[in-house]
Amino acid sequence: MQLKLKRSQRAAGMMGGKVLFALDARADLSTEEKSLVQKYKLGNLVVYDSDARKKHTEAGYGHFDEATNSGVGRSLWKNARGLASAAMMALSLRVTVDGLMKGEHIECKDLDELLGAEAAILDACKSLKNYLETALTFDGREEVVEF
């Protein structure tokens, strides 16, 4: 498995006074690794969720929880806000194993968030590699562990 990372930045905002940090990430898997990802159904495994997605998820749950303990009018309002948060969550970034195999483009206003995303992707690829290597050992072989 190879993970290809490309960092870049671009000017943003009306006058170009802000900077957006970008990361392009793509995992190149061997044919055997791809077949194991399919066999063990790891394609939908979440590698990274953006801070915005986490924030909208929590807000949505909060609105729906409040809606269950409210009167009719307030309940409708809270449900509408919960649906708006769910829509915003759907537009926020979520990286999966399948997404990494296809290639992901991540943009962040904050360098710390981008570095966090990069670290999460690196850790996830290491874990995926270990997972796939371990999966190959379930072929009936016997392992002897001495103490």
pLDDT in tens, 16-54: 788 989 999 999 999 999 999 999 898 888 777 765 555
Domain count, the chain: 2
| Alpha helix positions (H), the chain | 31-39, 51-68, 72-91, 97-102, 111-135
Same domain? 65 vs 39: no
- Is residue 124, in this structure, part of any structural domain at all? yes
pLDDT tens digits along 96-135: 889 889 998 888 888 888 888 888 888 888 888 888 888 8
* Residue that wins the pLDDT comparison between 86 and 36: 36
| Residues paired with 105 in a beta bridge | 24
Same domain? 55 vs 32: no
Same domain? 40 vs 104: yes
The whole-number average pLDDT for the span 2-8 is 95
**pLDDT above 90 (res 147):** yes
112 contacts 25 by C-beta, under 8 angstroms: no
Tell me how far apart the alpha carbons of residues 134 and 111 are, in angstroms, rounded to a whole number.
34
Domain span at residue 63? 51-92
Same domain? 1 vs 38: yes
- Is residue 40, in this structure, part of any structural domain at all? yes
CB burial readout 57-84, b (16+ within 10 A) else e: bebbeebbebbeeeeeeeeeebbebbee
